[in-house]
Structure 1
Amino acid sequence: MAAGAGPLSSVPEVEIDPEGTFKYILVRVEGGSGAEGHRDIVRGTAAAEFHNHIFEKGYGKADHSVTVEILKRTYKDYGFSWSDDKK
């Protein structure tokens, strides 16, 4: 496969507001193979008060129940709880 022609090449490298001061996140997207095993992308918006708001806008809110189930498989002796409180 030619460089830049893989599935990750369709993911825009940067999506930020055209002007202003704002929060941003740097995300490593993985899923390609060979030389395109990952791609670092930048996302930012003035509408986000916190960094996690950017991630939620671009990729959806994390399903905390799925995260807890994954953690339970690795950390069998730990107790886990989570909440979705917005403060």
Structure 2
Amino acid sequence: MAASHMASSTSHKNPKLIAIPDVEIDKHGKFKYILVKVHDPDVDREFKHIVRGTAKAAFHADIYDRVSELIEEKGLDCEILGGGRIDHEPSKKSIKIYGYSQQFGQADHTITHSILLRAFKEYDQITWSNEGY
């Protein structure tokens, strides 16, 4: 999926999708992350991608379990598209996206990269690589 397909063309009009933050990651450190597709089951083909990551999770599934619960409480559905790792260094205004999830496979880091570029506009360096674990 191309990075230009981070959301459906009408998702910006759906109040339920708008209410879901695009990014929720730890303020600093190295941690696991997941890329999730959120969609409204009542509106065909409306979706957006979100990024979630935390060092508190032992496994990528731990992040997804929490995210899916919150999403479903809002009347939306979601599916995990894969995972990886993030190295977030706010003092250097730097984020590195890399690796994969053993359980869910590798997220499309180009989509994650595009989402983080929008969320961290003041950062000097946001990069991605398919290397590493």
Whether TM exceeds 0.5 here: the answer is yes
Work out which of the residue numbers 48, 52, 56 in structure 1 matches 2:57.
48
Whether 1:19 and 2:10 are equivalent positions in the alignment is no
Unaligned runs of 5+ in 2: 1-9, 70-133
| Deviation digits for residues 16-62 of structure 1 (CA, Å, limit 9, x no counterpart) | 1110100000000011647x7100000000001110010122224xx
The residue identity in structure 2 corresponding to 1:5 is K
Cα distance in 2, alignment partners of residues 3 and 40 from structure 1:
10
Greater than 4 Å deviation, 4+ residue runs: none
Cα distance in 2, alignment partners of residues 33 and 26 from structure 1:
21
Report 1:1-87 matches (<5 A): 4-6=12-14, 7-31=16-40, 33=43, 37-60=46-69
Cα distance in 1, alignment partners of residues 61 and 68 from structure 2:
10
Unaligned runs of 5+ in 1: 61-87
The alignment yields a C-alpha RMSD, in angstroms, of: 2.2
| Deviation digits for residues 55-80 of structure 1 (CA, Å, limit 9, x no counterpart) | 122224xxxxxxxxxxxxxxxxxxxx
The residue identity in structure 1 corresponding to 2:63 is I
Q: 1:3 to 1:47 in 2, by over 3 A?
A: closer
Q: Any idea what SS the aligned residue of 1:49 has?
A: coil
Q: Any idea what SS the aligned residue of 1:41 has?
A: strand
* Higher gyration radius (CA): 1
Per the normalisation by structure 1, the TM-score is: 0.57
Percent identity of equivalent pairs: 41
Cα distance in 2, alignment partners of residues 56 and 11 from structure 1:
16
Per the normalisation by structure 2, the TM-score is: 0.38
